[in-house]
Amino acid sequence: MEVRYEHSPKEVKGMTTEELRSAFLTEPLMQSDTIRLVYTHYDRVILGGACPVQKKLSLETHSELRADFFLQRRELGIINVGGKGKVYADDAAHELNKLDCLYIGKGVKTVVFESEAAGEPARFFLLSAPAHAPHPVQFLPKEKALPVRTGSAETSNHRTIYKYIHADGIRSSQLVMGLTILEKGSVWNTMPAHTHSRRMEAYFYFDVPEGQRVFHFMGQPQETRHLLVADSQGIVSPPWSIHSGCGTSNYAFIWGMAGENYTYTDMDMVNIPDLR
């Protein structure tokens, strides 16, 4: 598990490209028969990926957590972006098709990942945050995730938002989680941009076609920076930073938040002409 520390706006203002990438962009999180985790000190969120191919993968605790098991004081959101697979939560099996979500609450001792077929492995994105209370394990298929179609072809941001873990869906201690799929011909996400200083956010870009990239914009609204993101890479977005992207093709991404405010609509909007 890689550990990353916080950076202030003043530090980020002077960072080189490589320093920005090392601080806020992850390596591809989906690697065969491996669980990759990144622990960020922004609200102590952990993002990662589990890609079981030839064997089952068990989510183990790490010395940095000082916990007897991974979810002793944490909760976990899981979204599958690959082939059909199973997640075992204390030996109870849950089948996840592509874009299905599973929430596992504080206190579950064992979490195991498995693919149905090695030729089309499951690819589980993981997002974990500290939890103050236990909530039950809950499964939500994509079809029941209350899709919201928004944007338009005229502004190149025609997209569908699926909300899974939130106040009106799967309940959690502090995790809020869902995904966005852009239509063909649309490339912009989260524009107009916003910040929310009450909570951090993590992005995970997937279904980015081979050879294509997403320009992910970050930084304070008047001091923006960008990162070039490939398929299955994650972004750590500080509470003071915008988080928006524009691709060389359409794509999809998972978004997840944790922090003080649990309200999905808690956003400080930034007008496009005010960005710098």
Mean pLDDT, range 11-32, rounded to an integer = 97
- pLDDT band for position 189 (cuts 50, 70, 90): very high
Q: Which among 223, 264, 224 is positioned nearest to 244, based on CA atoms?
A: 224
CA distances from 270 to 150, 215, 240, 242, 243 (A): 18, 18, 12, 9, 11
| Burial classification of residue 212, based on how many CB atoms lie within 10 Å of its CB (0-12 exposed, 13-18 middle, 19 or more buried) | middle
Amino acid 146: pLDDT: 82
Q: Tokens 């004081």 sit at which residue?
A: 73
Q: What is the mean pLDDT of the chain?
A: 96
Task: Compute φ and ψ for 102, nearest 5 degrees.
Answer: -130, 130
Amino acid 178: pLDDT: 97
Give the CATH number, domain containing residue 83. 2.60.120.10
- pLDDT band for position 171 (cuts 50, 70, 90): very high
Amino acid at 85: G
Amino acid 78: pLDDT: 98
Total domains in the chain come to 1
Residue 136's domain spans which residues?
2-274
Neighbours of 268 (CB within 10 A): 12
Mean pLDDT, range 35-63, rounded to an integer = 98
Is cis: bond before 192, omega within 30 of 0?
A: yes
What global pTM score does this model have?
0.96
Amino acid 9: pLDDT: 95
For 34-38, 230-234, 266-270, which range has the lowest pLDDT when averaged over its residues?
Answer: 266-270
